[in-house]
Structure 1
Amino acid sequence: MNEQIQHMIDWVEATLKNDFSLDELSSYMGYSPYYCSFKFHQATGITIRRYVLLRKLYLSTDDLKNNRRIIDIAVDYGYSSQEAYSRAFKSVFGLNPREFQLNEMPVQSFIKLTLEKEGEWGGMIISTKEVEKLKRQSSKLFDRDVLNVLNGQFMYEQFKENKLMGDSDYVPFNEAMCVNVATSQVFDEEFVKTRAQGHNDSVENYFKKVIEPLDNLFTKQYKCIVLWFGEDMFCQMNLLTMLAYLEQSNYKGEIFLYSFREDEFRVNVTELKLGTYSSIYKEVLVKHQRPTNDVFPVMYQAIEIYLDMLKEDNAVVKYIAKNKDVPTMELVNRLFTRFPTIGYGDTQYIELIHKNR
């Protein structure tokens, strides 16, 4: 079935700038419109129309970065008007095309889906060329009074072992804030107790795994903190937690977000200002509500995914239900491929599979 679905994806990609027609896809594939739609959704976890929408809007961000006229971009991608394109853009990224063009904030990458490349992600590909480019852009971030907060132990070990950021310090954030209960104050005693309980771990073990590795964050003063977090929902919820802590601890230095895709090492650099992240954290991760304050696009997208994953009938659960006869580890590998913007690890997916079988 994967080969059939890949043919559908290839056809969609070749006709992205045309008005999408399920009937034309059906004619090309030689199957009924219903069969094409059903099988695509079953195999990918996303509807064809949603796939087309996300691909068009993601590709259009490059045109916006190149300062093309918004009306020309709208026409290019088959929208009936600039207003229609702007509405679609805002529904996905949380801001209109003009705002994005003026600020160029990071967004989640939505690349062409390739079903044949199944398998668990094996780790970040670190490019020394990319690091050198970052150093040319801002050499001050390689100094001793800079702290790099890295999303997870694996990334931490690579950065520290290779001294990728020069003489600066490194700490890992070894958490999965997108699952289990959170508390309003980050890293206090109640937080540690609650998170440990959610992970079915002892307070002692949780403290050793999550809190102790962050010691430099708690005990040393830094003029700048660099936050290395991926585009996916998993990483962005960890990022939101870290930003909330920095606000709650009254951090006064500079903050830079180095955002990247997990399967490549191309970094988007954004300077962040504190002010509303603690309240956003409480609304989203504690109360499970949409935030009342604006957030940058990649976090906006991640929050939408996070809130959707809290639903009993979310896209992943539906995909598991439709593929319940697939062996667990094969299904986990499929989920990695089908849902890259979620960012779950094998632990979260295996738990979800067992819960829904």
Structure 2
Amino acid sequence: MNEQMQLMIDWIEANIKSKFSLDELSNYMGYSIYYCSFKFHQVTGICIRRYILLRRLYLSTEDLENNKKIIDIAFEYGYSSHEAYSRAFKNVFGITPKEHQVNKFPVQSVVKLNINKNGEWNKMSISKKFEVEKLRYDRSELFDKNVLHILNGQVMYEEFKNNRLMGESDYAPFNEAMCVNATTDQIFDQQFIHIRAAGHNEPVEGYTEKVIVPLVNLFNKEYKYIVLWFGEDMFCQMNLLTILAYLEQSGYEGKVFLNSFREDEFKVNQTELKLGPYHSVYKEVLVNHTYASHEVMPVLYQAINIYLDMLNEDNAVIKYININKDLSTKEMINRLFERFPTIGYGDLQYIELINKIR
């Protein structure tokens, strides 16, 4: 089945810029549209039409960043008009194609599916030093002593700090998973610590040592620049939203940069951020579980949609687990990592879901 599915994906990729129908795909595969659609969803965890839509729109962002005419991009990807393309684009990314062309905000990557990649999804490229050197060339001031680099998680923090990848700057990890469990309006105060510790089933002292103590420089030192290193998946983006909300809550007045990257590679998209709506968005999304009433950058907009969808009892991950629940837990987790890279859950979150369903 994997071989047939990869054949289907390869055909879609070869025809991604043409206005093909699912009839043509089913004729090529020699199966009915229903069978192709059912199997695609069963194996990949995503609806085939949704995959095609997301893949086309993601590829179109590269053309926008290269300043190609929007009307030409619309027709190239099978849209009947500029308006139809713009509606689809804004529905997925939260901004118009023109806004993306001007600002070049980071978006979640939608890469071609590879069913037979045998776990290679989790190996980040070894190009870190090369990418960091490019950043140094563009903004050498972000390597100075009055800069704090906050990294998503202990592993990334230790690699950056031990290798001094950002020179003489300070480094701090954010060791949290804000996409699960309850939180509070005020960030990093005693109520926050108690609520988050309880959600993770940890003693307050242990939580404080793991999450709060490593951020001591953020609380006690003044920095001209703060650089946030967070992946583009939902897990990382909810952590990013929390840090941005805290910076706003605490009245930080320096400059903030986001270095966004995909987890399976290390091509950094650096964006200077303006603090403004993030604490309100944090409260709306992570505290009250509602959609944001403010406009946010596309990568965060997409992550918010995923986060809120994951709160539903019939979300895509639960459906996938139900369809494939005969798999072993180890195989299931590997499949979930491969099929849902934009979610970014770790082993613990997936094990909890699997056990709940079984």
Instruction: Normalising by structure 1, report the TM-score.
Output: 0.98
Q: 1:73 maps to which residue? A: 73
Distance 1:296 1:209 in 2: 29
Residue deviations 1:304-352 (CA, integer Å, cap 9, x gap): 0000000000000000000000000111011111001000111111111
1:284 aligns with 2:285: yes
Distance 1:124 1:25 in 2: 33
Instruction: Work out whether residues 125 and 263 of structure 1, in 8 Å CA contact, stay in contact via their aligned partners in 2.
Output: no
Cα offset, 1:93, TM superposition:
0.3
Distance 2:298 2:126 in 1: 24
Equivalent residue runs for 1:35-50 within 5 Å:
35-50=35-50
Distance 2:126 2:149 in 1: 18
Instruction: Work out whether residues 118 and 333 of structure 1, in 8 Å CA contact, stay in contact via their aligned partners in 2.
Output: no
Q: 1:245 maps to which residue? A: 246
Counterpart residue identity of residue 147, structure 2: V
Unaligned runs of 5+ in 2: none
Q: 1:297 maps to which residue? A: 298
Q: Secondary structure at the match of 1:325?
A: coil
Residue deviations 1:146-166 (CA, integer Å, cap 9, x gap): 000000000000000100000
Detail structure 1 runs of 4+ shifted over 4 Å in the superposition: none
Equivalent residue runs for 1:8-19 within 5 Å:
8-19=8-19
Residue deviations 1:11-67 (CA, integer Å, cap 9, x gap): 110111122311111111111111110000000010110010000000001110111
Counterpart residue identity of residue 342, structure 2: T
Q: Secondary structure at the match of 1:147?
A: strand
Cα offset, 1:125, TM superposition:
3.7
Cα offset, 1:124, TM superposition:
6.2
Distance 1:144 1:13 in 2: 46
Counterpart residue identity of residue 178, structure 1: C
Equivalent residue runs for 1:15-164 within 5 Å:
15-119=15-119, 121-122=122-123, 125-164=126-165
Cα offset, 1:127, TM superposition:
2.0
Counterpart residue identity of residue 345, structure 1: G
Instruction: Work out whether residues 142 and 167 of structure 1, in 8 Å CA contact, stay in contact via their aligned partners in 2.
Output: yes
What is the count of residue pairs matched by the alignment?
A: 357
Distance 1:134 1:87 in 2: 34
Cα offset, 1:7, TM superposition:
0.7
Instruction: Work out whether residues 124 and 155 of structure 1, in 8 Å CA contact, stay in contact via their aligned partners in 2.
Output: no
Distance 1:20 1:245 in 2: 47
Distance 1:220 1:339 in 2: 38
1:233 aligns with 2:239: no
Q: 1:224 maps to which residue? A: 225
Q: 1:185 maps to which residue? A: 186
1:349 aligns with 2:346: no
Residue deviations 1:114-157 (CA, integer Å, cap 9, x gap): 01114372456452111111000000000001000000000000
Instruction: Work out whether residues 118 and 334 of structure 1, in 8 Å CA contact, stay in contact via their aligned partners in 2.
Output: no
Identical aligned residues as a percent: 69
Distance 2:22 2:127 in 1: 41
Q: 2:171 maps to which residue? A: 170
Distance 1:124 1:152 in 2: 18
Cα offset, 1:4, TM superposition:
1.1
Distance 1:155 1:304 in 2: 26
Instruction: Work out whether residues 227 and 257 of structure 1, in 8 Å CA contact, stay in contact via their aligned partners in 2.
Output: yes
Distance 2:226 2:304 in 1: 23
Distance 1:19 1:354 in 2: 42
Q: CA RMSD in A?
A: 1.0
1:259 aligns with 2:260: yes
